[in-house]
Structure 1
Amino acid sequence: MDSETLRALLLGVQRGEVSIQSATERLEVWPVEELGYAVVDHHRAVRQGMPEVVLGESKSPEQVVGIARALLARTGNVLVTRVDAAKAELVCQAVPELRYQEAARVLVSEARHVTPLGNAPVCVVTAGTSDVPVAEEAAETLLACGVALERVYDVGVAGLHRVLGHLDTLRAAPVVIVIAGMEGALSSVVGGLVAAPVIAVPTSVGYGTALSGFTALFGMLTGCAAGVTVVNIDNGFGAALAAFRILRGAAQ
């Protein structure tokens, strides 16, 4: 149940279209569901506008199946992040309503029941092709939130003309997500070119002293473009949720 469904239910009671008994029965199975190994938060969509997202990493296929079925039964919307191909195959066999997006390593429900948010697409930018898996995690999360997006990939600072060639697209976006490994300089470049909020995602891409993403993280945190927000290493999901919160707050 999301906030719109809850509002419709209460209006139905107010107008006499839904009985108090019927409304009570629907609310009794809300907001959480105990599965033994997980407590599914069906109230998340009411509080935050987005159903609970499942971290697939370290969960067994059986646990992912159980949580996914619980979410499907209530909202019809499922997003599971950090899922390898072998686990995804087992889950999809048990829950055919899900499909696997290999590039993003996510499982998503085939039928999405989401309300579109925002008029202009969020721009998802990568410095290199090696950053694309993190970008696709962000992209799939945005789509699950009802947010349209524009992809601008492989435009790192080693060839500055590449990002400048997309300046109109960047400046038209209400939020820009910049994903980069190595030294992470692209977030400062983009942050100095656009007025919209910029969310920077350091990735673990790079040799030696890239330090599995820490160099990019420190570079983004100490960047000279003011007001750039930085999320955790390889956290495309977190960047997308931050963008969703910005857009949802602006729409309310």
Structure 2
Amino acid sequence: MRRTASTYARLITAQFRSITEYPADFWTMIAVALIQQAAQIAFIAVIFAQISTINGWGFPEMLLLVGFMVLTDAVTEVGWDGMWTVGRKIVDGGLDYAVVRPAPVMMQIGASAIGMQSAANLTTGVTMIAIGWSGAGIAPSMIPAAILLFLCAVVVQLTVITTANCINFWLKGPSPVFAWLTAQTQETATRFPLTIYPRAVRTVLTWVVPLAFVNYIPVRILTGDLPAWWLAIPPVVAAVLFAITALVAKAGLTRYESAGH
């Protein structure tokens, strides 16, 4: 585990150095990300200038909801963005290099790219959560719970995206169709309280493709909308998803037959 962590850190560092060799591109990506998130906050503010709540959720709770999603997504993209290249590597044989190296294959792929356009979102996400936290009146004693929920959210996000990309081992195509569909569903559906959707949609997003554990469930726990015993569920969900992802990745790698697949 220690060796794997060290290898991952070196790979991410190498990617960061590569990106920052082009300062204009780097700062352009940062600026675009900040403008995008500022527009998102402005959009929420405009909505709540006209209405007081969305199905019982006020402006602070909505900031928490979007903030958790933005921050979790940013951490995943900065530290695991290479996973989106799985399909292409399967088709062109690029996966061969990772397979023969003495390090976990999925870790090498995940660390093979950095989504620097999301680096600025780290600050934006933290800011949104801080403002929402204060506005919702959440006690400082809940900070340890928030850290636990955030770590679980990162694992859920990472494993769901990884599993969706690994489907390409069976699709045999370069385009990450299922991963893209999953990301788009999260972007459009989970930025709002799941209570506005039909029961079937809530069930799918909570227990089938559990994107609700990225932001919706954590916010409900932190605001006291769910009982305290719910704090034990996100770690279990994260552990189960990690195990499932490991099995899917292993099965996919077993099917891999080099270039052309």
* Higher relative contact order structure (alpha carbons within 8 Å, sequence separation ≥ 6): 2
In terms of fraction of residues, the more helix-rich structure is: 2
TM-score w.r.t. the length of structure 2 is 0.28
Question: Is the strand fraction higher in 1 or 2?
Answer: 1
- Give the alignment's TM-score, normalised by structure 1: 0.29
